[in-house]
Amino acid sequence: MRNVHLLLLLPITFGSQAATIVDHSQIDLSHILSQTASKNYSPSNQPLAYREINHVKAGSNTLLRKQQLHFGVPVYGQSIVAQVSNQGDITPLDGQVLTGISSDIGSTMPMFNADQAIDLVKGTNTGFASRPIGEPRANLMIWQDKQQVAHLVYKVDLVEMKGMSPSRPITLVDAKNGEILDQWEGIAFIEAEGPGGNQKSGKYYFSPTTHFGGFEVNQYCQMDSQNVKTIDMNNQQYGGQVHQFSCNTNSNRAVNGAYAPMNDAQYFGQRVFDMYMDWLNTKPLQQKLTMRVHYGTNYGNAFWDGRQMTFGDGNQSMYPLATWDVIAHEVSHGFTEQNSGLEYRGMSGGMNESFSDVSAAALSQYVNGSFNWKMGEHVMKYSDAMRYFIQPSKDGSSIDHVNQYYNGIDVHNSSGIFNKAFYHLATSPGWDIKKAFIAYATANQLYWRANSNFQQGAEGVCKAAEKLGYQSSAVHSAFAQVGVQVTNCTSTQPNPNPKPTPTPGISELEINVPTPVDANGNDEQHFVLKNAPSQDIWVQTYNGYGNVDMYVAINRPASLTDNDCASTNADNGEYCGFSGVGQTDIYIMVTGATGSSDAYVGVSAYLDEQEPTPQPQPQPQDLCSALNEWSANDYYPQGTQVQYYGNRFTAIQDSWGLDPYSYSDPYGHYWYWVFEGSCYQ
């Protein structure tokens, strides 16, 4: 097998790569798992250990999800799925392992404590007046960055008010030096744009004498039952108290066209709990469901903040958001956070949003025996629904197919991919909403990881279906209809007459010959350089106006979800470098994140034109040993050679402060540096 080494994913991505993710099958984990199961086993002195974070009964199988530990510290986003036999033997089935951690982080001893990490993050939020809500959290863990370097970090979780809006910044702080390594918004919102509404649903009555049944309260008629607690925020952003009423009828309080939102919250919160217990044999959350109702003034939103669910009373275009589908949606954000931990950004954020929508569909089936494939229908006053399963793009913002995805798309809009796939799966022969929900939820419990992409998410649903004894061919078909091809899951019912997957038109490139790109909107253009003439290859788009994105794969067509390098800068300057790819075929896909004109794509190579000698001499291991590392503080006359993140560059103009990645041109035509190849041959 040819070794292919990815040199460049995004600008400035090099560094030590001691920490490496490998498939579970490359390591003998059976002995480690059996040791971990021992009562006397202590993981705190082991470089590789596991602890159980979930177990699922899938048909006749007992499956475990186990979190990777490094000397007792959890490794972010890394877990395995294992099966337990009747004799108690544990066999790993799926997952990845982060190896070589010690080479990057040294010891697991942080240089400051969790409280100091929280104070550090608070100190960085100085650009906007903020007020904390609830207790902040900081957990020590190991995290691998995009350059494949492991760090000992604190994951700091704050909930605060910024102006009138709640915010939940999730921040990764290097526990050795205090550097902020990553940050994203973690609050999970329901979101709707434009007109949208509850006289719309009609008035129903919760009572033992109706088909709904009553809702549970305690003996003092406080809305605080065993599983659900409802707090009246009384249109404030802070405080609130458990709602209490005169037994046994609560008619408090109608607002904005809704008859009693706190009744809705208490009742449907319990029904969500019941559904998870009946269908999955698990609680939706590890803690009691806390429902905060009548939040803020004129607040047309709802959110999960990592601790509780909050519902506003709506506004001119929205009814109060404590409706059955929004309640199921927000509670299920908590289920996702406490299982797969899907990050609320990128493709994983779209999956996160979709699972919450899917849970609303499941609740409708559980309570009413049907679902009309509209999300948020009864919230919106002047439009049909918030989102649509059958045709997500009907709302004017969501996407129906993976080729419409672009970096930075709102997670509510990218949820259309998994929502539409769910519709196709639930309506497949032999399937229904219940089975499809259980497959999605089991994937969430076992197979999805924090930064899973659409491809990995679909594979997880397929693997879950197989373990549940469902026909996985329907999963293949459902995701194919949204452009996601399931490849790492065996179909349990092959299609005797499969529809051929059309091969995109592919234009052949020549080395060092720029080719025009015509990529507008979601258009795709495919290129290939056959039989690469060098081990070191540089692929680049440049020139013109607009914004293209580029995806490159070795020996197979490139796509959004299957590539070896994705470059998605906010202009036409995209680039990927590879080493060890001689004699391979380099496939390139260029898409228009926005309209683009006058852009070019090209492939350059470092070619050694010297005649081979009869007795080849050993090549130096490091071709950059005599070259200085590029520095922003130095002046570089034309002709100067430097090394930069493992590659060699030559200045083609005088420059100062212009790094070789951002200002390089493989053809030596326009910019300041020319790529000469890798430092290592």
Q: Give catalytic residues, as residue numbers.
A: 330, 412
Which residue's structure tokens are 């291991």?
A: 621
Q: Residues 6 or more apart from 51 whose CB is under 8 A from it?
A: 36, 43, 66, 67, 69
Question: Please, are residues 338 and 304 in contact by the beta-carbon 8 Å criterion?
Answer: no
Residue 2: asked if its preceding bond is cis (omega within 30°), the reply is no
HSE (CB half, 13 Å, CA atoms) of 151? 22
- Residues 594 and 504: their CA atoms lie apart, in Å, by 21
DSSP 538: E
- Residues 300 and 189: their CA atoms lie apart, in Å, by 11
The residue type at 122: K
Q: What are phi and psi of 36, to 5 degrees?
A: -60, -35
- Residues 139 and 319: their CA atoms lie apart, in Å, by 38
- Residues 28 and 80: their CA atoms lie apart, in Å, by 13
Which residue's structure tokens are 């709904």?
A: 212
Angle at which helices 433-446 and 261-280 cross, to 10°: 80
- Residues 114 and 117: their CA atoms lie apart, in Å, by 5
- Give the dihedral of Cα atoms 58, 62, 67, 72; nearest 10 deg: 160
- Residues 186 and 127: their CA atoms lie apart, in Å, by 19
Question: Please, are residues 405 and 589 in contact by the beta-carbon 8 Å criterion?
Answer: no
Q: Residues 6 or more apart from 147 whose CB is under 8 A from it?
A: 13, 14, 15, 17
Which residue's structure tokens are 């709102």?
A: 410
Question: Please, are residues 515 and 601 in contact by the beta-carbon 8 Å criterion?
Answer: yes
Question: Please, are residues 425 and 478 in contact by the beta-carbon 8 Å criterion?
Answer: yes
Q: Residues 6 or more apart from 275 whose CB is under 8 A from it?
A: 362, 363, 366
Q: Where are the beta strands (DSSP E) in 278-422?
A: 289-295, 302-304, 309-312, 374-375, 387-388
- Residues 206 and 245: their CA atoms lie apart, in Å, by 15
DSSP 332: H
For residue 649, CA distances in Å to 14, 43, 672 come to: 15, 46, 10
Q: Quickly count: other Cβ atoms within 10 Å of residue 161's Cβ.
A: 17
- Residues 189 and 307: their CA atoms lie apart, in Å, by 14
Name the nearest CA neighbour of 34 among 50, 22, 58. 50
Question: Please, are residues 100 and 78 in contact by the beta-carbon 8 Å criterion?
Answer: no
Sheet strands side by side (includes 5-6)? 5-6, 574-579, 536-542, 599-605, 515-517
Tokens of 113: 């404590």
- Residues 266 and 281: their CA atoms lie apart, in Å, by 21
Q: What are phi and psi of 444, to 5 degrees?
A: -65, -40
